[in-house]
Structures are given as C-alpha cells and as structure tokens.
C-alpha cells in the first residue's frame, strides 16, 4: 500500500469563502473531494497519494482547534474588517506552521507578529507590498481580476515559481471572494500545481 502524504490546511475566516474556492480550484487540478462534514467546514481533497485536510474556523473557534493538538502545515488568515476579537487569536498562537498565507490588507496580521513566526510567510491583497497582489479588478457579471505574483514562491517539491501575472474569472458577485481566490492560488502554487500554464483561470459555482 502506498504511503499517504497528509497535509493539514487551517483557515481562519468569518465566512467559509476560502474553503469553497480551494475546493473548486483544486478540483480543476484533479483533486477529488473524498470527505466533507455536515457543516461543510472540514473537507478532504485527494490526488494520487496526497490527502489535503482543509479546516475552516471562525476566529472564535481557532483556540479550540489549537487546544485539540492540531498542527497545520498551512495556516490561511483571511479576516476582513474589524468585527473580530483579536484576543481570541492571540490566545491560539499558531506559531509552528510550515506556511502562513496572510491577508495583508487589513490590520489583522499584527497579532501573529509575522517576523517571529517559524514558517514561511506569504502575504496577499490589494496592498502593493503583498507577495501576490491585484493589478486590475472589475465586477460586472462576476469578478475578473489580474493577479500579480511579485516575488517568487518555492513549492513543496522545490520548484521556484517566478514572478508572473495571470487573469482569473470568478462566478461570484461578492468582492470578498477575491481575497479567498488569492489565498487559494497561493496554496495551489505551493502544492506544485502549474497555475501559470493557464492563461485564464475560471472559478464557477
């Protein structure tokens, strides 16, 4: 029996947008949904010998998941707006992840003190200093945006993903989904998926 490569992805966000986008995006790269719980905040995506366990947590729940002893390979922090309790996040102290994928548009990553984290920190947002940012953006029937990777990312298999720009189309009309898409694309790149091979990436419901 082949040994399974199990990776844990934690997502801290108020609404479960990012877990949906990750599922849809990775499905286009042949990841199959092998499990979902009734609430839909825990899924397992499988490809070959790899199992990706993805858990979406509201900010108030993060401490509980930490206390049961989960060690995430990836932690996505996609908190939008100011309506959350920073002290809840301070107490959870997810400081031993391999990768941190952080929304840098809001003042919500300071609680993590990124400079003191053990893992690799990758930021995203409209912020021009982010690792992955947005060079153009429009909302009509859905969302169309040009994403710009401003600094290289090294994937799990050691390949270097160089700075580049590509277009995405998202069949959702809520602007907050663009942040989820940025996080999902960064995760896919780290996993070694060839995002840049597609001139336009479409994400549909």
> Using the 8-state DSSP alphabet, how is residue 4 labeled?
P
| Cβ atoms within 10 Å of 84's Cβ, excluding its own | 18
Q: For residue 99, give the nearest of 192, 187, 162, 180 by alpha carbon.
A: 187
Strands 143-149 and 50-57: unpaired
Where residue 43 falls among pLDDT bands split at 50, 70, 90? very high
Task: Please give the pLDDT value at position 95.
Answer: 74
Question: Average model confidence (pLDDT) for the chain?
Answer: 84
Residues 6 or more apart in contact with residue 107 via CB below 8 angstroms: none
According to CATH, the topology of domain 5-203 is 3.40.1190
pLDDT at 127: 85
133-142 residue pLDDT tens = 988 888 776 7
**What is the predicted pLDDT for the residue at 115?**
62
**Total-model pTM:** 0.89
Q: pLDDT value at position 72?
A: 93
pLDDT for res 106:
62
Tokens of 78: 């996609």
What number is the average pLDDT over the span 156-162? Answer: 90
Domain-wise residue ranges, the chain: 5-203
In angstroms and rounded to an integer, the radius of gyration of the C-alpha atoms of the chain is 16
| DSSP output for 72-96 | -SEEEE---SS-S-HHHHHHH----
Assigned token pair, 58: 């509201």
- 109 pLDDT more than 60: no
């Amino acid at each position: 029996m082949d040994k399974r490569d199990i990776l844990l992805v934690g997502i801290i966000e108020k609404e479960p947008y990012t877990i949906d986008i990750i599922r849809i995006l990775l499905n286009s790269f042949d990841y199959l949904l092998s499990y979902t719980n009734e609430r839909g905040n825990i899924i397992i995506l499988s490809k070959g010998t790899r199992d990706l366990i993805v858990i979406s947590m509201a900010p108030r729940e993060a401490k509980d998941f930490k206390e049961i002893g989960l060690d995430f390979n990836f932690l996505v922090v996609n908190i939008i707006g100011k309506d959350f309790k920073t002290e809840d996040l301070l107490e959870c102290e997810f400081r031993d992840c391999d990768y941190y994928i952080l929304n840098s548009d809001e003042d919500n990553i300071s609680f993590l003190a990124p400079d003191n984290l053990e893992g690799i920190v990758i930021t995203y947002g409209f912020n021009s200093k982010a690792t992955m940012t947005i060079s153009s953006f429009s909302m009509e029937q859905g969302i169309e945006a040009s994403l710009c990777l401003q600094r290289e990312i090294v994937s799990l298999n050691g390949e270097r993903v160089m700075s580049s720009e590509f277009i995405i189309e998202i069949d959702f009309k809520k602007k907050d989904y663009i942040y989820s898409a940025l996080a999902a694309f960064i995760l896919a790149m780290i996993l070694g998926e060839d995002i840049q091979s597609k001139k336009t990436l479409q994400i549909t419901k």
